[in-house]
Structure 1
Amino acid sequence: MFQGATVKNEGDSVIIGRIVKGGAAEKSGLLHEGDEIVEVNGIDMRGKNVDDVSEILANMSGTISFMVIPVSQEVIPPSPQQRTATVHLRALFNYDPEDDMYIPCPELGISFMKGDILHVINQEDPHWWQAYREGEQEQQSLAGLIPSKTFQEQREAAMHVLTPDGKENKKKGKSCGTCGKKDKKKSKKKKKQSLYSGSGEDTEEYLTYEEVMRYYPQPNRKRPIVLIGPANVGRQELRDRLINSHMDRFSIIVPHTSRPKKADETNGKEYHFISRAIFEQDIQQGRFVEYGEFEKNYYGTTLDAIRRVINQGKICILNLEPESLKIMRSSDLKPYVISVHPGNLEKLRQIHIKLGKSRTTDDELKQIIDDAREMEEVYGHYFDYVLVNTDMDLAYDELLMEINRIEMEPQWVPQEWVDNYM
């Protein structure tokens, strides 16, 4: 790579393979992709490989003169959209160009982490796009390379063919979630539950990028906050503290159940009581975010129950299992997903002691940490924010601060949310 351009060999010729946005080559307007470099400052380039050319150019200083053979004018120019449109993407995988043997110029590659926002300014190359990482446009005048969506999907598919057992084992390792039932009397009992998403088995999905757009907070339409995390990580306590401290601002949903109503219960208060037949009909119609069965009765959380809270002008706080996130994100609810993640073993032990769970063993604590890691690996592309719980008071303050922030500042959300659900 030199002066904002990369070169490649075609036979004995040295060809300009790419003009990088923001570089000197682009600004000059004199060099174009496909031009053959014949001489540089009088040095013949023909027959030299790209490594030799790069070394020669790296040792040059001052004015550099190129003798080129222009690319044929028959080359089809890029479309106006390719030339000018900026596409905003959320990365759904981690990437380090130094580990990528296929990148044409590692020095030009951009490293990024899952969740980073990338602003793609050039998609002319089918394999390598030019982009900036969010917040770095001012500091980085030269665009960098990232693998294109199609190219990355092809590599993921090839990797899956080579190591199919790796992905299959991940899927088999998914833990079964619990239903949305929030009955304090029942919560102390061990429940064997069966969670259903209502959408059948997931098809193979290769996680690369998600196109996003800016979403501006709407005062009359609060985004529901979904707390995700392993059991006994503290998210239940965080949810209850939010509700109890700000009852006028936050609310939980009223779940549905097929069990009979007790004498001291009111329909619509503790539960929405419906028949088993109606419950199963609602399942078939996709009205539940998640549901489970306990002692031959259904319990579950409906999309409409969440909407009722939103229509009251309150923020709905939900403790859901990660299997439910796909349904939430495909709805019109625009959830904001916060993963509550444990700290190290000692921090987690101290939290359990403060919560009156001093009998939790080290093996049980380690299992919580392992469950959180697996959850992040499988579902981390759905997370908007990761809250590491090392202290309940600090975690609560951080959680409240993040909720306050998204009520005031714009956020990047999937493009279809803005296109379809505004």
Structure 2
Amino acid sequence: MVSSSPRAQTRSHDVDPKRIKAYSEQLRQRKEAEERIAAQNEFLRNSLRGSHKLQALESNPPNTTSFVNEAYEEDVEEPSQLYSIVDYQEVCAALSRVQKALGSLGESGLAARIAGAASTLCPGLATPLTTRTAVLNAVRHKRPGLSPPQTQRAQDRLKDCIDVLGAHAASGGATSSLAAELVSVLGGLELESLLQAHDSAAALVDPACFARNRKTGNHRGENDKFQPAGSPDDTSDTIKIIKLEKTNEPLGATVRNEGEAVIIGRIVRGGAAEKSGLLHEGDELLEVNGVSMRGKSVHEVCGVLGALAGTLTVVVCARAAPRPPAPHRVLHVRAHFDYDPEDDVYIPCRELGISFQKGDVLHVISREDPNWWQAFREGEEDQTLAGLIPSQAFQHQRESMKLTLAGEVAARDKPRKGGTLLCAKKPPRKKKGKKATSEAGYPLYSTSGADEYEQEEILTYEEVGLYYPRASHKRPIVLIGPPNIGRHELRQRLMEDTARFAAAVPHTSRPRKDHEVPGQDYHFISRTQFEADILNRKFVEHGEYEKAYYGTSLEAIREVVNSGKICVLNLHPQSLKILRGSDLKPYTVFVAPPSLEKLRQKKIRNGEAFKEEELKEIIATARDMELRWGHLFDMIIINNDTQRAYTQLLNEINSLEREPQWVPAHWLKHT
């Protein structure tokens, strides 16, 4: 991998110097055209203000009622007053107020988009706003010791120095070697970027010069030597010739169009482009192996690059100093949605995208692009080239837009009817006298409003971290699934090992019976205490049956964990919200039915009576549970055979005590 010097005078044996001169001439002409258009626009803005008719009206105003139009006032002496100083917290607070206002007006879709924008925008605004505030405060309050700049054209002075030193270096005199060394130092991109920042700040720090230059149209300082814009000595745009070795893998760079120009949009970690260190975001791609890129579409460029292999000779125009990579820590996330880049029309390059499924762990190594992160899938970290995945903000934004455009936001607040989501139907009323019990052994109940649909959040990613097993903390096992699928049998099989597994003792507000032992059969508390504990969110699940409360508390589960045993629970998915918010770190297993035909065969094999509608109801309920709460499941077991399902569950529990697991990152803060 070879690269020539980054100056415009670069030569290469396989690139015609005439083409380099032609590219330089094209760049100069384009810059002149841009500056010509900018000058014309400035002239049009100033022409009315300096017109004779307007001056005549100012000197001899007509005898009519008039007012002063501030748009035609003279330029303010201090241009910094044109800008208000905005604090970082004010920006975030303003976005929050807009989000709340939209939410109160029922515009939940727009509110979600504002929330997504805030999550992306606010973290990156802190440093730029702090810098901007410091500069404006210094100018506005005329801080002592802040002297006006000597020039606003430090970049031009640098170029003049390089020209003079270049002549000394070429003369071959005694100081030619020193002059050549100094040219290499002054010609660095770092110094060029520094002086560019200096010139930008100088325009603010010297208000008088700023206002004077605005009137005259001259943005150079008084003592600056005049140099025509776009002169051949202007090397702000630098032509480079780069050689890359391309294999069957993609180069690891994406491009975009700006007019007829082909611009490098991003550099992907681990690719040939990133390893070379010579290509940077914002560079213009001029030529590849003699094929001109200007005027080609993104698809045409990708087609040309995809057909090439071996050594590539690339001619680029470096538009700006390369940015050093931001020091981001690796972010570990679990995906809460399925993604296939082949179905994504927005991805910059399908070949660089990686597919994943709900539940996969992704290691994000770059979040510099607000829309596309660079990541590896769990287990594929040994690959050299990273892949593109949609960022959290971008995925949230487009899912929110889909809901808004489809009109689903209002529909989601109402119970769903028909279709396969049968779980949304109101449950049938219990027949009088028939006592229903939970699989944990106490009366079955439903909490007030438990069957109502909550406003579903838009699921994207969840930050995770590695949790290492501890002998002093056995993670509770939660079995989730539709009724009559065999969860009770699996739980009973586990509970046979009393030395290892135990159940949480439920609470109740009913009076104790003579044969019942407090703390063994139930925890007996008063109705008032039970209601207070409900308000304090101490129950994972609770309800009322025959004028008495029943429930499973977090403290009861914690007692089992503290005893060194594994607590096994059969819960409704809605109970996971409180349980996952505690310090217990539950492991959730979804017991799912097989296909309709296999479920029918299982019932026949076990000699169980069934109705066809009941089997369909089981499958539909399981499908709805996975759709609504699938992102909370750590494991899915298809219970086609009870013995096989039990063996699979027991093996997974055994591995939990030996191997680290990815858990929500906020759980580790309580470890």
Regarding TM over 0.5, the answer is yes
3-state DSSP of counterpart to 1:63: strand
3-state DSSP of counterpart to 2:384: coil
Residue equivalent to 2:571: 320
Question: What is the one-letter code of the residue matched to 2:561?
Answer: I
The answer to whether structure 1 residue 411 and structure 2 residue 661 are counterparts is yes
Correspondence 1:80-119 to 2 at 5 A: 80-81=327-328, 85-119=329-363
Correspondence 1:273-352 to 2 at 5 A: 273-352=524-603
Structure 1 alignment gaps of length 5 or more: none
For the 8 Å contact 2:509–2:548, the answer to whether it is kept is: yes
Structure 1, residues 249-289: CA drift from partner, whole Å, max 9, x if none?
00011000111111111111111111111110110111000
Residue equivalent to 1:390: 640
Distance 1:378 1:18 in 2: 36
Distance 2:568 2:440 in 1: 16
Residue equivalent to 1:217: 469
Structure 1, residues 208-234: CA drift from partner, whole Å, max 9, x if none?
000000000001100000000011110
Structure 1, residues 121-140: CA drift from partner, whole Å, max 9, x if none?
111110000111111223x3
Distance 1:61 1:351 in 2: 56
The 1:53–1:18 alpha-carbon spacing in structure 2 relative to 1, beyond 3 Å, is same
The one of 385, 389, 404 equivalent to 1:142 is 385
The 1:77–1:15 alpha-carbon spacing in structure 2 relative to 1, beyond 3 Å, is same
Greater helix share, structure number: 2
Higher relative CO (Cα under 8 Å, sequence separation at least 6) belongs to 1
Structure 1, residues 170-227: CA drift from partner, whole Å, max 9, x if none?
778547899995674x66xxx5633567xx9855411000000000000110000000
Correspondence 1:228-307 to 2 at 5 A: 228-244=480-496, 246-307=497-558
Question: What is the one-letter code of the residue matched to 2:487?
Answer: R
4+ residue runs over 6 A deviation:
175-180
Q: CA deviation at 1:101?
A: 1.1
The answer to whether structure 1 residue 58 and structure 2 residue 306 are counterparts is yes
The RMSD of aligned alpha carbons is 2.4
Structure 1, residues 138-178: CA drift from partner, whole Å, max 9, x if none?
3x321111000000010111112123156446778547899
The 1:214–1:121 alpha-carbon spacing in structure 2 relative to 1, beyond 3 Å, is same
Distance 1:64 1:349 in 2: 62
The 1:111–1:176 alpha-carbon spacing in structure 2 relative to 1, beyond 3 Å, is farther
Distance 2:515 2:600 in 1: 39
Structure 2 alignment gaps of length 5 or more: 1-248, 418-422, 431-435
Distance 1:77 1:343 in 2: 53
Residue equivalent to 2:609: 359
For the 8 Å contact 2:508–2:522, the answer to whether it is kept is: yes
For the 8 Å contact 1:160–1:167, the answer to whether it is kept is: no
The one of 181, 193, 199 equivalent to 2:446 is 193
Number of residue-to-residue matches in the alignment: 408
Question: What is the one-letter code of the residue matched to 2:447?
Answer: S
The 1:247–1:353 alpha-carbon spacing in structure 2 relative to 1, beyond 3 Å, is farther
The one of 389, 393, 404 equivalent to 1:161 is 404
For the 8 Å contact 2:501–2:567, the answer to whether it is kept is: yes
Distance 1:196 1:91 in 2: 30
The one of 275, 291, 305 equivalent to 1:27 is 275
The 1:76–1:25 alpha-carbon spacing in structure 2 relative to 1, beyond 3 Å, is closer
Distance 1:117 1:400 in 2: 23
Distance 1:203 1:183 in 2: 29
Structure 1, residues 292-337: CA drift from partner, whole Å, max 9, x if none?
1111111100000000000000000000000011111111010000
The answer to whether structure 1 residue 378 and structure 2 residue 628 are counterparts is yes
For the 8 Å contact 1:227–1:339, the answer to whether it is kept is: yes
Distance 1:182 1:272 in 2: 18
For the 8 Å contact 1:347–1:391, the answer to whether it is kept is: no
Distance 1:50 1:183 in 2: 61
Distance 1:265 1:192 in 2: 21
Distance 2:256 2:426 in 1: 51
Structure of greater Rg: 2
The 1:282–1:353 alpha-carbon spacing in structure 2 relative to 1, beyond 3 Å, is farther
Residue equivalent to 2:291: 43
For the 8 Å contact 2:541–2:551, the answer to whether it is kept is: yes
Q: CA deviation at 1:20?
A: 1.1
Question: What is the one-letter code of the residue matched to 1:293?
Answer: E
Question: What is the one-letter code of the residue matched to 2:327?
Answer: P
The answer to whether structure 1 residue 152 and structure 2 residue 391 are counterparts is no
Distance 1:291 1:342 in 2: 27
The 1:196–1:255 alpha-carbon spacing in structure 2 relative to 1, beyond 3 Å, is farther
Correspondence 1:120-139 to 2 at 5 A: 120-138=364-382
